[in-house]
Structure 1
Amino acid sequence: MRTEDVLAATATGMWRWDNASGIVTLDGEAARLLGLPAAHVDLPEVAVRSRFHPVDWNEINGIVNLAVAEGTLAEALLRVMDGDGRVLRTVRSRSKPLENVTADGRTDYQLIGTLQEIAAPQPGTAAAHTTVTGDWRRSREAFLLDAGRALAEARSTAEVLRVAASLSMPGFTPDGLAVFGAAGDRLSIIGHHGHNPGDEGPFTEMPLDTDYPAAEVVRTGRAVYLPSPEEYERRYPAAWPLARGFGRSSWAFVPLIVAGRTMGAWMAAFRHPVSFSPDERSVLTTVARMLAQALQRAGVAESERELTTGLQRSMMPTLGPEIPGMAVAARYVPTGGGLQVGGDWYDMIPLPSGRFALVIGDVQGHDVRAAGLMGQLRIAVRAYASEGHRPDAVLSRASRFLSGLTDSYGAYGATPGASGPSRTPGTGGRDADGDEELSGPRFATCLYVECDPETGTLDVARAGHPDPAVRMADGTVLMRPTAGGLPLGIVPDTDYPTTRFTLEPGETMILCTDGLIETGGHDLDTGWARLRAVLESRPPEGGMDLEKLADLLVSAVHGPSSHHTTGPLADRREDDIALVLLCREGPGADCGSTPAHPVRPARRTVLTVAQAEPQRIAGARRQVRELLHDWADADQVDSAVLLVSEMLANVLTHTDGDALLVAEAAGELGARRFRVEVADSSDELPHKRHPGEMASSGRGVLLMEMLADRWGVDPRGAGKSIWFELHEQAKPASD
Structure 2
Amino acid sequence: MRTEDVLASIATGLWRWDSASGEVTLDAEAARLLGLPAVPVTLTESAVRSRFHPVDWVEIQGVINLAVAEGTLAEARLRIMSDDGKVLRIVRSRSRQYLRGDDYEMTGTLQEVPEPQPGTAAAVHSRVTGDWRRSREAFLLDAGRALAEARSTSEVLRVAATLSMPGFSPDGLAVFGVEGDRLKIIGYHGYQDGDEGPFLHMSLDTEYPAAEVIRNGRAIYLPSPEDYQSRFPSTWPLAARFHRKSWAFLPLIVGGRTMGAWMAAFSYPVAFTPDERSVLTTVARMLAQALSRASVQESERELTTGLQRSMMPTVQPNIPGMTVAARYVPTGGGLQVGGDWYDMIPLPSGRIALVIGDVQGHDVRAAGLMGQLRIALRAYAAEGHHPDAVLSRASRFLAGLAEQWPDGESASAGDPRFATCLYIEVDPETGTLDIARAGHPDIATRMSDGTMLLRPTAGGLPLGIDPDSDYPTTRLALEPGELMMVCTDGLIETGGHDLETGWQRLRETVEKHSGDMESLADALVQAVHGPTSHHMTGPLADRREDDIALLLLRRNAPAGGCHPAEGKAPRPIRRTVLSVPQAAPEQVALVRQQLRELLHDWADDEQIDSAVLMISEMASNVLLHTDGDALIIAELVGARGARRLRVDVADASDELPHRRSPGEMASSGRGLVLMEMLAEAWGVDPRGEGKCIWFELYESGPVSGPDAGPESGPGPGGGELEGEEPAA
Q: TM (normalized to structure 1)?
A: 0.85
Question: CA contact under 8 A between 2:356 and 2:488: conserved in structure 1?
Answer: yes
Change beyond 3 A, Cα 1:491–1:93 = same
1:606 partner letter? V
Alpha-carbon offset, residue 149 of structure 1: 2.2
The gaps in structure 2 that reach 5 residues or longer are 562-567, 702-728
Counterpart of 2:358 (choices 362, 366, 373) is 362
Correspondence 1:322 to 2:322? no
SS at match of 2:8: helix
Correspondence 1:52 to 2:57? no
Correspondence 1:185 to 2:181? yes
Taking the aligned partners of 1:613 and 1:579, their CA distance within structure 2 comes to 29
Correspondence 1:393 to 2:392? no
2:527 partner letter? A
Q: How many residues are matched?
A: 684
More deviation in 37-46 or 368-377? Answer: 37-46
Alpha-carbon offset, residue 628 of structure 1: 4.0
Counterpart of 1:382 (choices 370, 378, 383) is 378
Correspondence 1:714 to 2:684? yes
Matches within 5 A, 1:185-264: 185-264=181-260
Counterpart of 1:646 (choices 594, 597, 613) is 613
Change beyond 3 A, Cα 1:466–1:183 = same
Correspondence 1:126 to 2:97? no
Taking the aligned partners of 1:720 and 1:93, their CA distance within structure 2 comes to 106
Change beyond 3 A, Cα 1:171–1:355 = same
Q: Deviations over 1:546-583 (max 9, x none)?
A: 22222222222223333355788644411111111122
Matches within 5 A, 1:638-677: 638-651=605-618, 656-657=624-625, 661-677=632-648
Change beyond 3 A, Cα 1:688–1:294 = farther
Matches within 5 A, 1:489-500: 489-500=464-475
Matches within 5 A, 1:96-111: 96-101=96-101, 107-111=102-106
Correspondence 1:80 to 2:80? yes
2:684 partner letter? D
Counterpart of 1:507 (choices 456, 467, 482) is 482
More deviation in 647-656 or 460-469? Answer: 647-656
More deviation in 516-525 or 198-207? Answer: 198-207
Alpha-carbon offset, residue 382 of structure 1: 0.8
Matches within 5 A, 1:392-541: 392-409=388-405, 412-414=407-409, 439-539=414-514
Correspondence 1:574 to 2:545? yes
SS at match of 1:645: helix
Correspondence 1:558 to 2:508? no
Taking the aligned partners of 1:685 and 1:123, their CA distance within structure 2 comes to 120
2:385 partner letter? H
Change beyond 3 A, Cα 1:304–1:451 = same
Taking the aligned partners of 2:167 and 2:262, their CA distance within structure 1 comes to 19
Question: CA contact under 8 A between 1:691 and 1:699: conserved in structure 2?
Answer: no
Taking the aligned partners of 2:118 and 2:548, their CA distance within structure 1 comes to 65
Question: CA contact under 8 A between 2:331 and 2:541: conserved in structure 1?
Answer: no
Question: CA contact under 8 A between 1:501 and 1:606: conserved in structure 2?
Answer: yes
Correspondence 1:727 to 2:699? yes
Question: CA contact under 8 A between 2:615 and 2:647: conserved in structure 1?
Answer: no
SS at match of 2:164: coil
2:546 partner letter? D
Change beyond 3 A, Cα 1:92–1:198 = same
Matches within 5 A, 1:275-290: 275-290=271-286
Matches within 5 A, 1:613-652: 616=587, 619-629=590-600, 633=603, 636=604, 638-651=605-618
Q: Deviations over 1:658-717 (max 9, x none)?
A: 76543211123454323334567795556899999xx99999999878876x23343657
2:200 partner letter? T
Change beyond 3 A, Cα 1:339–1:570 = closer
2:454 partner letter? M
Alpha-carbon offset, residue 120 of structure 1: 3.6
Taking the aligned partners of 1:575 and 1:610, their CA distance within structure 2 comes to 35
Residue number in structure 2 paired with 1:69: 69
SS at match of 2:490: helix
More deviation in 122-131 or 20-29? Answer: 122-131
Between the aligned residues of both structures, percent identity stands at 69
Taking the aligned partners of 2:541 and 2:572, their CA distance within structure 1 comes to 41
Change beyond 3 A, Cα 1:675–1:269 = same
Q: Deviations over 1:147-187 (max 9, x none)?
A: 22222221111111111112222222222211111112211
Change beyond 3 A, Cα 1:529–1:618 = farther
SS at match of 2:403: helix
SS at match of 1:518: coil
Taking the aligned partners of 2:28 and 2:420, their CA distance within structure 1 comes to 84
Residue number in structure 2 paired with 1:587: 558
Alpha-carbon offset, residue 600 of structure 1: 6.5
1:547 partner letter? E
1:336 partner letter? G
Alpha-carbon offset, residue 325 of structure 1: 1.7
Question: CA contact under 8 A between 1:399 and 1:492: conserved in structure 2?
Answer: yes
SS at match of 2:83: coil
Q: Deviations over 1:393-427 (max 9, x none)?
A: 11111111111111111x743599xxxxxxxx96x
Change beyond 3 A, Cα 1:351–1:653 = closer
SS at match of 1:167: coil
Taking the aligned partners of 1:123 and 1:150, their CA distance within structure 2 comes to 39
2:682 partner letter? G
The gaps in structure 1 that reach 5 residues or longer are 102-106, 417-424, 427-438, 591-596, 730-735
Q: Deviations over 1:289-329 (max 9, x none)?
A: 12112111111211122122222222222224722222222
Alpha-carbon offset, residue 351 of structure 1: 1.3
Question: CA contact under 8 A between 1:506 and 1:589: conserved in structure 2?
Answer: no
Question: CA contact under 8 A between 1:8 and 1:29: conserved in structure 2?
Answer: yes
Q: TM (normalized to structure 2)?
A: 0.86
Alpha-carbon offset, residue 608 of structure 1: 4.2
Residue number in structure 1 paired with 2:516: 545
Residue number in structure 1 paired with 2:341: 345
Q: Deviations over 1:191-214 (max 9, x none)?
A: 111222222222222222222211
SS at match of 1:517: coil
Taking the aligned partners of 2:184 and 2:700, their CA distance within structure 1 comes to 77
Change beyond 3 A, Cα 1:72–1:714 = same
2:400 partner letter? G
SS at match of 1:207: coil
Question: CA contact under 8 A between 2:456 and 2:594: conserved in structure 1?
Answer: no
Change beyond 3 A, Cα 1:654–1:315 = closer
Correspondence 1:116 to 2:88? no
Taking the aligned partners of 1:525 and 1:123, their CA distance within structure 2 comes to 78
Q: Deviations over 1:215-251 (max 9, x none)?
A: 2211221101111222222222333333233333221
1:546 partner letter? M
Question: CA contact under 8 A between 2:331 and 2:547: conserved in structure 1?
Answer: yes
1:481 partner letter? P
Taking the aligned partners of 2:560 and 2:282, their CA distance within structure 1 comes to 65
Taking the aligned partners of 1:369 and 1:570, their CA distance within structure 2 comes to 20
Residue number in structure 1 paired with 2:564: none
Residue number in structure 1 paired with 2:294: 298
Change beyond 3 A, Cα 1:123–1:521 = farther
